[in-house]
Amino acid sequence: MTNWRIAVMSDSHGDKETIRQFKDEQSESDYLIHCGDSELSAEDALLGEMVAVKGNCDPDGLPEYLMLSAGSFRVLVTHGHLDQVKTGLLPLRYRAEEAGADIVLFGHTHLYGAEVHEGILFVNPGSTHRPPPGRPATYAVIEKTAAGVSVRFLNTDATEADSADFPDFPKSR
């Protein structure tokens, strides 16, 4: 898997229709990921065929952290509340370094964003159901191609809200 595509959402807070729509629109992705606060049980059919972690608003049954492989990249998936992401990325960066992650996918803040810290790409897809006032409801699509890694933030109607390109990611740490 030299080139790959990950579609990631978070903080849907019980909005089942948005999860259905996300799965339909992004069905060609290598991974469909939910970074928590789906408010669905681990057995809910909507989470089938998705990688999902437990957020602070979720019932028990989902893991709090998961590691995936996308090509040569190691991807850490979490909600972020256990690493206090609302106050900064330092605790999550330490966790990522300990796990040997190249990419970290997380939610909790409801704000989308992508940035590289100390050679690790951090991506928050935003919230598909409760974005902050004045911000769009979004999810993210991360793609690795020969040109590097790109992150597109899509509105829930699949139109582009924003994007970020990382042509030389990863640089060695």
Which residue ranges form the domains of the chain, and what is each CATH number?
4-166 (3.60.21.10)
List, in order, residues 6 or more apart from 167 with CB less than 8 Å away: 147, 148
| 1 pLDDT above the threshold of 70 | no
> What is the per-residue pLDDT across 34-45, written as a single tens digit (0 to 9) for each?
999 999 999 999
Q: Give the CA count within 13 Å in the CB-facing half-sphere of 53.
A: 24
| 173 pLDDT above the threshold of 50 | no
Kindly give the residue spans of alpha helices, DSSP state H, lying in 46-133.
Answer: 90-99
| Average model confidence (pLDDT) across the chain | 95
Note whether 75 and 49 are within 8 A (CB). no
CA distances to 23, 97, 113, 158 from 102, rounded to whole Å, are 25, 8, 16, 26
Amino acid at 157: D
Read off φ and ψ for residue 146, nearest 5 degrees.
-60, -25
For residue 2, the model assigns a pLDDT of: 81
Cα 92 to chain centroid distance, Å, stands at: 14
Cα–Cα distance measured from residue 73 to residue 15, given in angstroms and rounded to the nearest whole number: 31
Cα–Cα distance measured from residue 139 to residue 158, given in angstroms and rounded to the nearest whole number: 9
Note whether 142 and 5 are within 8 A (CB). yes
Report which of 101, 115, 118, 102 is spatially closest to residue 151, judged by C-alpha positions. Answer: 115
Q: Residue 116: beta bridge partners? A: 121
| 72 pLDDT above the threshold of 70 | yes
For residue 168, the model assigns a pLDDT of: 87
Note whether 6 and 70 are within 8 A (CB). yes
For residue 170, the model assigns a pLDDT of: 81
Model pTM score: 0.96
> What is the per-residue pLDDT across 90-104, written as a single tens digit (0 to 9) for each?
999 999 999 999 999
Give, in degrees to the nearest 5, the angle at Cα 169 between 3 and 156: 65
Cα–Cα distance measured from residue 78 to residue 61, given in angstroms and rounded to the nearest whole number: 14
